[in-house]
Amino acid sequence: MKLGVLTGGGDCPGLNAVIRAVVKKAINDYDMSVIGFRDGYEGMILNNYITLDRKSVSGILSLGGTILGTSNRADPFNFPIMQKEEYIYLDRSSELVTNYERLGLDAIIAIGGDGTMAASARVAELGVNIVGVPKTIDNDLFGTDQTFGFDSAVVTATDAIDKIHTTAQSHHRVMIVEVMGRYAGWLAMASGLAGGGDIILIPEIPYDIDEVCNKIKERNRRGKNFSIVVIGEGAKPLGGKMVVSKIVENSPDVIRLGGISNQLAQQIEVLTHLECRVTILGHLVRGGSPTPFDRLLGTYFGCEAVRLASEKRYGRLVVLKGSDIDSIPLVDVAGKIRKVPFDSQMIQSALSLGISLGVATDQISMLMKETEKAEAVATE
């Protein structure tokens, strides 16, 4: 058999661990050959690839990023082309299929997040054999308990919050740390809990600015003359909207979030008369060496993906269920986002510790009931 492997979407620690596992298991256990497409699906469309062997994946386990490169704009069905100083969008999926057949490939292992999996599900409908591997620092991919890259991002964000703590204490300030996560609050919740945040604001729970300020004032009354606020980039106030930093028109997901922390800081200073400082971690949490957990998870995922391909079990996504590696149909994942449940251990633990989530506890219960009702209606 001959396999192709690609990495799509945003980069994260652990991608190279998956590539390494795919290549080594394919060669050692099945005597397969493997090629790697550069820059995600763009490489398949442009026929831009490299041969992957034991030597090419030697020493990459601890490296962040991806040796294959990646792209979050290479949608085969809506591929951007610059013409006369503006982008036009073309369906180039047929070129992808042609190159797949010319190269004599038996299957593609696509490593990526929700955008890559949505594209992969459509590519599979064209007759391309695909096995998906879930990747994202946001941990928002539907169907898996965790994606690789998330643990590494939590470690980086927590380390930053730890460092922010010391300067917050020294200067008696409100320090706001903004992390990535898009429309889900997994990264903000995990790093906020691990870093000892006093207030954690996530997209799933629109915050009440008065509740946020009340928490800060309460801490001051108890002699705590500083506060740490951890906020996800997709968080928004009650009745308000997410803050969009820019629009990238030649991207499948045109919206780029970011900057909500600056808006929050201005409001807190006006309402509390306390000085605020903002730190936006941004792409810092995407970089660096993967944690041992992500190296292991990426390795398990890569090995399982090759096993599925060897058994011709295509159109599936490798997932983590509890402590077990499993797989689910790829079509079950496309177009869905996994958000933090209101009854999750994270949220319940935060409330028990006295951490403010930006709203009164009874409001969280109400939001939970409304969400359950909406989900029940959607299921019907």
Q: Are 229 and 197 in contact (CB under 8 A)?
A: yes
255-257 and 244-247 beta bridge pairing: antiparallel
Residue 378 CB contacts under 8 Å (≥ 6 apart), including other chains: none
Looking at residue 85, what is its pLDDT? Answer: 80
Distance CA(12)–CA(17), nearest Å, equals 11
Would residue 294 show up in a list of annotated catalytic residues for this protein?
no
How high is the pLDDT of residue 368?
Answer: 64
Round to whole Å and give the CA distance between 165 and 185. Answer: 21
pLDDT of residue 367: 73
pLDDT at 374: 64
In this prediction, residue 372 carries a pLDDT of: 59
Q: Give the number of other CB atoms < 10 A from CB of residue 94.
A: 11
* pLDDT at residue 342 in the model: 87
SS (H, E, C) the chain: CEEEEEECCCCCCCHHHHHHHHHHHHHHHHCCEEEEECCCHHHHHHCCEEEECCHHHCCCCCCCCCCCCCCCCCCCCCEEEEECCEEEEECCHHHHHHHHHHCCCCEEEEEECHHHHHHHHHHHCCCCCEEEEEECCCCCECCCCCCECHHHHHHHHHHHHHHHHHHHHHHCCEEEEEECCCCCCHHHHHHHHHCCCCEEECCCCCECHHHHHHHHHHHHHCCCCCEEEEEECCCCECCCCCCEEEECCCCCCCEEECCHHHHHHHHHHHHHCCCEEEEECHHHHHCCCCCHHHHHHHHHHHHHHHHHHHCCCCCEEEEEECCEEEEEEHHHCCCCECCCCCCCHHHHHHHHCCCECCCCHHHHHHHHHHHHHHHHHHHC
pTM exceeds 0.85, yes or no: yes
d(CA 245, CA 288) in angstroms, rounded, equals 24
**Domains, in order of start, for the chain:** 2-148+290-332 (3.40.50.450), 154-286+339-364 (3.40.50.460)
**Given 138, 151, 198, 294, the catalytic residue:** 138
Q: Are strands 174-179 and 276-280 parallel, antiparallel or unpaired?
A: parallel
Tens digits of pLDDT across the chain (380 residues):
999 999 998 899 999 999 999 999 999 999 999 999 999 999 999 999 999 999 999 999 999 999 999 988 889 999 988 888 888 889 999 999 999 999 999 999 999 998 899 999 999 999 999 999 999 999 999 999 999 999 999 999 999 999 999 999 888 899 999 999 999 999 999 999 999 999 999 999 999 999 999 999 999 999 999 999 999 999 999 988 888 877 766 666 667 788 899 999 999 999 999 999 999 999 999 999 999 999 999 999 999 999 999 999 999 999 999 999 999 999 999 888 999 998 899 999 999 999 999 998 777 777 767 765 765 665 55
Phi, psi for 376 (deg, rounded to 5): -65, -40
